[in-house]
Structure 1
Amino acid sequence: MNTNTNTKENTAKDNPVKSIIKAFGLLDIFIFEDLERKGIGLVELSKQVGIKPNTLHNILKSMIKCGYVVQNSEGKYAAGLKCAKISMVNKLISQKLLYDVLLPRLKVLRKAIDENVTFAVLSNGKRYGIFSLEADKPVKAVAEKNNSSIYSVVTGISLAVYADDEELQKIIEAYGYPQGICNIEELKAMLAKKQKELYYTALQHNDELETFGVSVILTSDGTRIVCSAGVYMPAYRCNDELRQKIINELLQLKTDLERVDLY
């Protein structure tokens, strides 16, 4: 056995990557010390962290590209939009918001229509289901899956229509373009047209499944997170009266949730 080789491998595993350590150290300063988000100049930051300005500038450029840092009009550096989005996601998945605010409202919706109810969030360009409540009926619809294409389910479309440019690029990386769409300009035009609709409906699985969805935009301190609420049910159970009731209940849920104070 070559002990020298093993020693080198173990040493390499134990040694952290210095540039990453420096980047996280900078992030700590931007998030926890620049509380007013006024930004910090390069020279001041260089003195504070003990990194040469040229090296520091290169690290900051990478952090800006990833969305964790921004450079303001005065040339100073501050926490970027990605940091605010992380904060929003943390609020969304907090025990209080999920179980004291969101879940009770979803239960009210399910009780009103007695069909399957789902709630999803757009994160890093993908649709993630947070809650899925089943109807109290012997015949149930199949739940939407997280790995389904965002374009193939109404709660996915409900998310995509309000995606910002960064999220839209992530959506394209994850799912490509929907059928009949060839480039990002065409996709934006399609989503802009869809955004004018108050709700979304579709027949799926050979017209055996009827689905409904609405977009829900939660905001806090100028930052937003795109969510969607949906109902899915066997198509044979859906008549015009129930269809209108589901749409009305979803729109009311949207109104209620968008008024929620996330603090």
Structure 2
Amino acid sequence: MPPSADAKPPEPPAPSAGGVQSLERAFDLLERMADAGGEVGLSELSGSSGLPLPTIHRLMRTLVACGYVRQQPNRRYALGPRLIRLGESSARLLGTWARPALSRLVEESGETANMALLDGDEVVYVAQVPSRHSMRMFTEVGRRVLPHATGVGKALLAHKPAQEVRALLGRTGMPATTERTITTADGFLDALEDVRASGYATDDNEQEIGVRCIAVSVPDSPTLAAISISGPAGRVTEAATDKLVPLLHEVARDLSATLAATGTT
């Protein structure tokens, strides 16, 4: 639907007290690019940010020169390779800070605990503390998966606008990893409604048969983050869920406070 004649363009972000406006605007553009899937045109950035095209063009030229953005052959702009190093270092630190919280989850639940982030269109696991059981779940730190078949993916996407979720699923596709995997956008959006209603997400044999996972998002995290408990479906049962969800929420709040204290927010 076209905008009405009375519609106003979005206001550009106001500079914070003591901040450098050009830096704040540049980082705002990088975040908008990430939200859009990593590649955008100047007119899209202007429409979403409220900044004039000449200002965006000047900022993007600087980001391209520094390697944080690259210009594609089709003249659109994409996130650049120098961001990878920053992201990997940040993810390692975040994982280090999360380990005490994950260790508490393992101690009180007996199951493997994970922390994951949304990185572009994928979920990346940044920390894990394994269960002490001989039969346990193991996910390599650094592993990337598509969000539609994971509990952490649902927790990470639950509060994003439906159109953003549909666009992400359109870019990634929804391949089935088991017969329980959700493979339609409508089905996944219905699942996200359940997450918002219940306050937690599940992966019930959707990523791997015999494995069940319960996940919650970390409130006020500097980047979208979720923590989870995963284990054999015979141990991570519906009955166990009633006890594990309050524990997950409590640990997520404590982890949020830890991240705030480290100055990452």
Same fold (TM over 0.5): yes
Question: 159, 163, 182: which is aligned to 1:162?
Answer: 159
1:91 Cα deviation from its structure 2 partner: 9.9
Equivalent residues in 2 for 1:196-215 (5 A)? 196-204=197-205, 208-215=210-217
Equivalent residues in 2 for 1:165-184 (5 A)? 165-166=163-164, 168-176=166-174, 179=182, 181=184
Query: 2:248 aligns to what SS in structure 1?
Result: helix
**CA distance in structure 2 between the partners assigned to 1:242 and 1:189 by the alignment:** 24
Q: Which runs of 5+ in 2 are unaligned?
A: 1-18, 27-39, 61-67, 70-78, 176-180
Closer, same or farther in 2 for the Cα pair 1:149/1:35, shift >3 Å?
A: closer
- TM-score, structure 2 normalization: 0.57
**CA distance in structure 2 between the partners assigned to 1:62 and 1:217 by the alignment:** 31
**CA distance in structure 2 between the partners assigned to 1:160 and 1:115 by the alignment:** 24
Deviations 1:202-230 (A, max 9, x none): 4317863222111224445xxxx222111
CA contact 1:118–1:129 (8 Å) conserved in 2? yes
Percent identical across equivalent pairs? 14
Q: Equivalent residue for 2:41? A: 62
Q: Equivalent residue for 1:227? A: 225
Question: 124, 131, 134: which is aligned to 1:135?
Answer: 131
CA contact 2:99–2:128 (8 Å) conserved in 1? no
Question: 115, 118, 121: which is aligned to 1:119?
Answer: 115
CA contact 1:71–1:77 (8 Å) conserved in 2? no
- TM-score, structure 1 normalization: 0.58
Q: Which runs of 5+ in 1 are unaligned?
A: 1-30, 39-60
2:186 maps to 1:195: no
Deviations 1:161-189 (A, max 9, x none): 13355465233311349747466xx7556
**CA distance in structure 2 between the partners assigned to 1:118 and 1:173 by the alignment:** 26
CA contact 2:121–2:146 (8 Å) conserved in 1? no
Query: 1:163 aligns to what SS in structure 2?
Result: coil
**CA distance in structure 1 between the partners assigned to 2:110 and 2:124 by the alignment:** 23
Closer, same or farther in 2 for the Cα pair 1:175/1:254, shift >3 Å?
A: farther
Q: In terms of mean alpha carbon deviation, does 132-141 or 201-210 score higher?
A: 201-210
Closer, same or farther in 2 for the Cα pair 1:161/1:140, shift >3 Å?
A: same
Closer, same or farther in 2 for the Cα pair 1:171/1:93, shift >3 Å?
A: farther
**CA distance in structure 2 between the partners assigned to 1:217 and 1:92 by the alignment:** 22
Structure with larger RCO (C-alpha < 8 A, sep 6+):
1
